[in-house]
Amino acid sequence: MIFFANIIIDISQAKLDKTFQYRIPEELLSGIHPGVKVSVPFGSGNRTIHGYVLEVTDKPEFDTEKIKEILSVEEEGVEISGQLIALAAWMRKNYGGTMNQALKTVIPVKQKEKLKVRRSLKLLLSQEEAAEVLSSYEKKHSRARARLLRELMEHPEIDYDIVIHKLNITSAVIKALEGQKVLSVEIRQVYRNPVAHLKSRGYDIVLNGFQREAVNEVLSHMEEGQGFTYLLHGVTGSGKTEVYMELIAHVISRGKAAIMLIPEIALTYQTVMRFYDRFGERVSILNSKMSPGERYDQFLRAKQGEIDIMIGPRSALFTPFANLGLIIIDEEHENSYKSETVPRYHARETAIKRGEMAGASVVLGSATPSLESYYRAKQGEFKLLTLKQRVKEKPLPICHIVDLREELKAGNRSILSRKLKELMEERLRKKQQIMLFLNRRGISGFVSCRSCGEVIKCPHCDVSLSLHRNNKLVCHYCGYETKAPKICPLCSSKYISGFKAGTQKIEELVGGCFPKARILRMDFDTTRKKGSYEAILSAFSAGEADILIGTQMIVKGHDFPNVTLVGILAADMSMYVSDYTAGERTFQLLTQAAGRAGRGSLPGEVVIQTYNPGHYAIKTAQKQDYEAFYQEEITYRKMMHYPPVYHMLLVIFTSEEESAAIQASIRFSNVIKKAAIENLQMIGPAGAPVAKVKDIYRQVIYLKHPEYESLVALKDRMELFIKEKQDMEQVGITFDFDPAGGI
């Protein structure tokens, strides 16, 4: 058989789909696969140029007589571009989609934007002068000016973009201070030498025993030239970030580079500055607000070796470091590491693959590891590193559980339990701060009984039903439907209803209880404007409010030393969302919300309000006992054949014509049945949880199998079916492996 290779000539162009086909000479066949660099004759003059192999196929695209041959395989080591192309090919294979979609994910496209200069702010005053000016700002209540000046007194030179994006200072404020000769805006050249900078700051943290042990284990493997995947488990404040930094310092001292992924919401000013303080100019950050051009610039700097450390969300994983030594994924349990667009890759898996290609170590860190990672660590696939206690030996907060059914019995129908209200009064009196946390995930509306706590569930799936319009209850897993009951099927109470309290409503209620308290609210509505998220956090941090009410957004990010009370208003709201990860999400949210209390010198208290005080996710969160939680949860996953014990593949069929989507899903279910894969479980086809979005109908099939590879093989088969039939243009088909949450 004759094979052909589709080759891309210039990956810096936007038209990544422009490929050229060449014939593969037999003697080269074994060395040709996606990512390999080859020499080919090009154009009418047949000059020799380089290209990268994207795909190998036995199907010629045009007259085979006219297809030229590949000249040779370039042996000179795998180039970074080749590695990223190979990674894209792996992603396409494992997550579905087209090669072009995969390439666009890993290779940033060059834009015709002019290079932006990097600017920084430099303090022009001595500390004494600055202190004087600061007190004058404070007297005039010029909060933004004071905030900026205070930061400049800490760090005499700060990156302009960081000030704008992370410190939430407007360019007008900067101009004003520039006008007053407090600061100057400079084309950035400082911190060229991180060592000199280090000296000026002094880096004096000495790792404790647990941290040292974790660092040493990774380093000893590195020295032996082995890259493993590690799971670093340690409660918040146990010093994980210091461990990351120590590892990074080692890696760059060996002339290698490091990537650190961090959820965007946790990429706060404080975190960024910690890295700048230690590594200076050699660090760069990525964020989603950057234009493709800015992103490209950052990648270019990495490629040219101007930086060694890239910090950013998911996409930072594709930073083209030529000599990558380490990938860190902080808060590895976060859902944001799973892409929601095709290819629907998971950054954890993809990082492990990239690490393998580059010979780099991968460190996953979390206070509440994903079930998946902990399971794999227990299986010996990842190496488990544990930080057993908080660095400063601060005790964990005292945690009270309030049974909301008892509150109702006692005649309290308020959103605040008596215990929480009492503690709030006390905190307000002592001028300490309070955070009230509402679990937003549940707001989509499960139906529960306010008397006995009963939640209406699907009879087939062990997940709660969601309230849809017309009082219909729908299972988001199997499509089961029923009418919402008017009285509780368990206790016949008429207090049964969809639970829909939003943050705004809670703000009103709390304001009614405590008319004198200053309240800030943080949710989807109040943070839609650019910079408002940071603005609310810094206002609360500066003591401009007594109570912060919010969704899970407030769980992460800043440390508020003056917060000594955290109230979790309805802890179980996330427990009944129609999703097998509900218990895991609840545990994570509760543990992290509780971790917000008592970060400073004052001890903290937590009140968890729940209808379900006996649930293991709540009981184990109260004790911050991850191991106990894991044991319960993994037993449930084993029993139900859910990930990580089994793997899932969700196939989504979309079409403007409902019948077309349904027909396609039925045809595919037949293809799947014919494949006769042992141990495969198929659920559906059925209507998707949200069966119609913007007039597009959606059908789904869920597949479960213990082996990921079997699902990949099945996906390949379905892709082949699509190619061969060629009569399904009307229907979009998307694959989603181990879907995180609903669709």
Which stretches of the chain bind ligand ADP, using CB under 6 A? 205-208, 211, 234, 236-242, 391
- Residue 36 contact, options ligand ADP, Zn ion, none, Cβ 5-8 Å cut-off depending on partner type: none
Residues 6 or more apart whose Cβ sits within 8 Å of residue 226? none
Smallest gap, in angstroms, from Cβ of residue 576 to Zn ion? 13
Alpha-carbon gap, residue 580 to 564, rounded angstroms = 33
Judged by beta carbon, residue 473 or residue 478, the one nearer Zn ion is 478
Judged by beta carbon, residue 372 or residue 579, the one nearer Zn ion is 579
Q: Which stretch binds Zn ion (CB under 5 A): 106-114, 191-199, 484-492, 527-535?
A: 484-492
- Residue 242 contact, options ligand ADP, Zn ion, none, Cβ 5-8 Å cut-off depending on partner type: ligand ADP
Smallest gap, in angstroms, from Cβ of residue 211 to ligand ADP? 6
- Residue 205 contact, options Zn ion, ligand ADP, none, Cβ 5-8 Å cut-off depending on partner type: ligand ADP
Specify which residues 467 forms β-bridges with: 473
141-154 burial code (b ≥16 CB/10 A, e <16) = ebebbbbbbebbee
Judged by beta carbon, residue 210 or residue 629, the one nearer ligand ADP is 210
Specify which residues 184 forms β-bridges with: 122
CB half-sphere exposure, 659, CA atoms < 13 A: 0
Specify which residues 338 forms β-bridges with: 346
Q: Which one of residues 451, 551, 592, 710 is an interface residue with Zn ion (CB under 5 A)?
A: 451
Q: How many CB atoms lie within 10 A of CB 203?
A: 10
Judged by beta carbon, residue 141 or residue 486, the one nearer Zn ion is 486
- β-pairing, 398-403 vs 605-610, is parallel
Q: Which one of residues 29, 452, 509, 696 is an interface residue with Zn ion (CB under 5 A)?
A: 452
Judged by beta carbon, residue 195 or residue 206, the one nearer ligand ADP is 206
Counting contacts by CB under 5 A, is residue 235 touching Zn ion?
Answer: no
Smallest gap, in angstroms, from Cβ of residue 268 to ligand ADP? 12
Counting contacts by CB under 5 A, is residue 454 touching Zn ion?
Answer: yes
Q: Which of 100, 23, 10, 3 is nearest to 51 (CA)?
A: 10
Tell the residue number behind the tokens 């200053």, with chain if given.
518
Smallest gap, in angstroms, from Cβ of residue 367 to ligand ADP? 7
Question: Is the preceding peptide bond at 60 cis, omega within 30 degrees of 0?
Answer: no
Counting contacts by CB under 5 A, is residue 460 touching Zn ion?
Answer: yes
Q: Which stretch binds Zn ion (CB under 5 A): 26-34, 225-233, 261-269, 460-468?
A: 460-468
Judged by beta carbon, residue 274 or residue 641, the one nearer ligand ADP is 274
Return the H-helix or E-strand segment holding 299. helix 292-303
The crossing angle, in degrees rounded to 10, of helices 240-253 and 269-279 is 30
- β-pairing, 447-449 vs 732-737, is unpaired
Counting contacts by CB under 5 A, is residue 478 touching Zn ion?
Answer: yes
CB half-sphere exposure, 568, CA atoms < 13 A: 36
Counting contacts by CB under 5 A, is residue 493 touching Zn ion?
Answer: yes
Q: For residue 92, what are the CA distances in angstroms to 22, 319, 348, 487, 721?
A: 21, 19, 16, 50, 17
Q: Which of 266, 345, 562, 557 is nearest to 435 (CA)?
A: 562
Give the dihedral of Cα atoms 561, 565, 570, 572; nearest 10 deg.
70
3 state DSSP class of 403: strand
Q: Which one of residues 449, 474, 522, 594 is an interface residue with Zn ion (CB under 5 A)?
A: 449
- Side chain identity at 404, as an amino acid letter? L
Q: Which one of residues 286, 371, 434, 458 is an interface residue with Zn ion (CB under 5 A)?
A: 458
- Residue 347 contact, options ligand ADP, Zn ion, none, Cβ 5-8 Å cut-off depending on partner type: none
Judged by beta carbon, residue 211 or residue 350, the one nearer ligand ADP is 211
- Residue 548 contact, options ligand ADP, Zn ion, none, Cβ 5-8 Å cut-off depending on partner type: none
Smallest gap, in angstroms, from Cβ of residue 250 to ligand ADP? 16
- Residue 477 contact, options Zn ion, ligand ADP, none, Cβ 5-8 Å cut-off depending on partner type: Zn ion
- Residue 542 contact, options ligand ADP, Zn ion, none, Cβ 5-8 Å cut-off depending on partner type: none
Alpha-carbon gap, residue 434 to 236, rounded angstroms = 19
Alpha-carbon gap, residue 699 to 661, rounded angstroms = 6
Judged by beta carbon, residue 197 or residue 421, the one nearer ligand ADP is 197
- Residue 482 contact, options ligand ADP, Zn ion, none, Cβ 5-8 Å cut-off depending on partner type: none
Judged by beta carbon, residue 255 or residue 489, the one nearer Zn ion is 489
CB half-sphere exposure, 615, CA atoms < 13 A: 28
Judged by beta carbon, residue 365 or residue 613, the one nearer Zn ion is 613
Question: Is the preceding peptide bond at 343 cis, omega within 30 degrees of 0?
Answer: yes
In the complex, the residues that contact Zn ion under the rule CB under 5 A are 449, 451-452, 454, 458, 460-461, 475, 477-478, 480, 488, 490-491, 493
